Amino acid sequence: MNEVKFDSIDGDIADLVSKYSFSSENNEIIMKNSSFFLETLDESIEIFYTWMKEQSNTFDEYFADAKLMITVKKLQKSYWETFFSQEINQEYIDSRKKVGQVHAQINLPLEIYCAAMNKFQIIWDNIISSKNFSNEVELIKCIHRKMNIDSSIVSATYNMLTNKRIADQNRALLEMSTPVTLIWDRILLLPIVGILDSKRTLDMMDSILKEISRSQAVVALIDISGVAVVDTAVANHLIKVTKATKLMGCETIISGVSPVIAHTIVDLGIRIGEIKTTAALKDALSIALKKVEELKIENTNKHAQL
């Protein structure tokens, strides 16, 4: 997976830590007392995974494999060793971003990560209480704030990658749902299914104009029988497409205009201008074939006159 870019993380580190009121002095307090946590780290991790096993659905789905469990525990130990012994620098931030990347890759719900961090917070609080630290309140505050920074980095990375994956999937679906096909010599077909918005219209326009240029098509059939709703916005989107194709010498015919769609267009007072429309795709195809045949005859006559 590519390196994650997150402005508030990859930018000023001082700005990031200041958002959580975490200072270098706070980090020094953690590092100064790190030995108390590191010497019981293996035990703490076992306590955590004993608790995790009680969350049966989560454990069985993500941690049931014994070999994987060994690897995960090693990574968990490394995570907390870094937490208690390292200052917050770019290397530290990158290690937390990596956690978010891994969780996003395996689709581990963010709520599970948050619950896990909460459990470790309880574990560290219990250790502090049992050791009778003179600065108990201050130490708890420092650990909590640093954990909050960790959570913000992991969550931001996770959300960014998840949103990117969703956007990529939506883009792929849109490309699949607006296929431009050369169905006959110089005749294109674009069936539209679902909702037509500005972004999809732009993608659709780019696709059909490129295909017109490539195939030298003179007629483009846009079938809207699968469009969920036709309102003023949708009609305007279709008008834009027909105007763009006309500039390239290609006539557009809108097919699949149902009685409901016709009523809607009239009721809304939408002016479709000179756009040709038909109720059925076969009627639009007949018009297109006739136009192509007429152009062939016209071109033949021109060559004969030469």
pLDDT tens per residue, range 35-67: 999 999 999 999 999 998 888 677 777 777 888
Phi and psi for 85 in degrees, rounded to 5?
-120, 0
Catalogue the long-range contacts made by 157-161 (C-beta closer than 8 Å, 24 or more residues apart): 157/4, 157/6, 157/9, 157/96, 157/97, 157/99, 157/100, 157/101, 157/104, 158/100, 158/103, 158/104, 158/110, 158/113, 159/110, 160/4, 160/6, 161/1, 161/4, 161/100, 161/101, 161/104, 161/105
Domains observed in the chain = 7-170 (1.10.490.10), 178-305 (3.30.750.24)
Position of tokens 């130990």? 77
**Nearest residue to 153 (alpha-carbon basis) of 73, 89, 106:** 89
**Nearest residue to 212 (alpha-carbon basis) of 230, 190, 237:** 190
| Backbone region of residue 162 per phi and psi (left: phi > 0; alpha: psi in -120 to 50; beta: other values) | alpha
> What would the pLDDT profile of 210-248 be if each residue is shown by its tens digit?
999 999 999 999 999 988 777 778 888 888 899 999 999
Q: What is the pLDDT of residue 193?
A: 82
**Nearest residue to 210 (alpha-carbon basis) of 236, 185, 182, 235:** 182
For residues 187 and 289, the answer to whether their CB atoms sit within 8 Å is yes
Q: Which residues of the chain have pLDDT under 70?
A: 1-11, 56, 173-178, 306
Which residue type sits at 145? R
Q: What is the pLDDT of residue 113?
A: 94
